[in-house]
Amino acid sequence: MKDKFKHQPFEIIAINLDKDRKLADEFIASQKINFPIAFDPQAVVAGQYNIEGMPSSYLVDPEGKLRLRYTGFWNKSKNEKEKVIYNLLQKMKKHPLKQL
């Protein structure tokens, strides 16, 4: 998905909650991942976002507004999520953020 939106103001950041860093690194190495992954074994971020299940996905706009919350694997409805992301990016083009 990152490649699909590579020319847009879009970024994917993963947060791994595994307590065992070695297991997390082994899993990450087995996947085709092309985005940054933060390691959060104390689940600080999970607590802040009230994670209900794993994996959880959030689409946050540049102003910090939550636009999409989804629990489950992205591939279950990948086309639907890509459409939501595309529509949000188009909306941002029509109404760009104010410069600070």
Residues with Cβ within 8 Å of 19's Cβ and at least 6 positions away in sequence, in order, are 41
Going along the chain from its start, the domains and CATH numbers come out as: 14-94 (3.40.30.10)
Query: What DSSP character marks residue 97?
Result: P
Q: What confidence score (pLDDT) does residue 100 get?
A: 35
Integer CA distances (angstroms), 21 to 16, 18, 51, 62, 94, in order: 9, 7, 20, 30, 43
**Each residue's pLDDT tens digit, 30-45:** 988 888 888 999 999 8
Shortest CA distance to 91 belongs to which of 1, 8, 15, 2? 8
Determine what percent of the chain falls in helix, strand and coil, rounding each to the nearest 5.
35, 15, 50
Determine if the pTM surpasses 0.75: no
Q: What confidence score (pLDDT) does residue 75 get?
A: 64
